[in-house]
Structure formats: C-alpha cells, structure tokens
Amino acid sequence: MSLSAVHGTLSSLKSCQADIGTAMDIVTNVAIDLAEARGVGSERQRKTLKLTLLDEDIAVTQTQDNFFCPLTQVEMVNPVKNKKCNHCYDEAAILNLIKTRHNQKKKCRCPVVGCENTDVRKSDLVLNKLLWRKIESQKRQSNRT
C-alpha cells in the first residue's frame, strides 16, 4: 500500500470521526432543547442531563474541527470540500485562487501544506453542509454564553 493511499484512508477516517462528533452535537442540542421546551423532568434532572451530555461531548470532541480556511485564515462562511483530497476551504477563497491560477495558465495546487493534490478544479468542490452546520452550531453556542 502506498503512502498516499494510507494518507487518503486516514483523511477519510478523520472525516468520519468528525461527522460522528457533529451528529452527536446536533442530537445533544436537540435533546436539551426538547427537554427545556417541554419542561421534561425537574430542573435538577435537566441540569444533570446537560452535564452528562457535556462530559460526553468533551470526550468526543477532543479532536476539534478546523473552521478556518487554509487560504484566508479566517472562519469559513461557505465551506466546500475537495472530493480528491478531502480538504476544506471557504468557497469564495478557493474559487478566487482557481481563477487566478487559471488566468496565469497554471494548475491550482491544494493550499493545505503537505497535500499532494496538484490540480484543484471547481468541479472537485462540493458544499460541505456538515461543516457549515458545525460552524453555525458553534456560533449559536457562542451567542448563548
């Protein structure tokens, strides 16, 4: 098995792990919101539920997702995922880079350090709805505190 195949497999596994973490975040938030909205259980029970879920959340999210674009170094607004290398970028930033490189008659290399993808194309990019939800969830949680 080649090194690039191993790297690709590890990237896929990391992506799956991140997806599971996000799903758990969403389910946790929904469970807490439902319990609060319906007044289920006593205040003490709801507080215990929150702490339990928070402890599990901390254990699962030890590997934090990177919400920052490797090009702009700011939080992504519309994250897109490269189907070839699985790296994510802000849509406007990567499209601008692709356009600039195309105008120079050159291929666009993935901006993530160490990535072997030397030909990023617009057709390789798909909206990363899961990462977008994570970013939005983080924003909502930040606004609550």
Q: Which residues is 80 bridged to in the sheet? A: 89, 127
Nearest Cα to Cα of residue 82 among 132, 115, 126, 131: 126
pLDDT at residue 47, as a whole number? 59
Tell me the pTM: 0.56
Mean pLDDT by 10 residues, the chain (145 residues): 68 69 69 66 59 52 69 94 95 96 95 93 94 87 75
Alpha-carbon span 135 to 76, nearest angstrom = 8
pLDDT at residue 108, as a whole number? 94
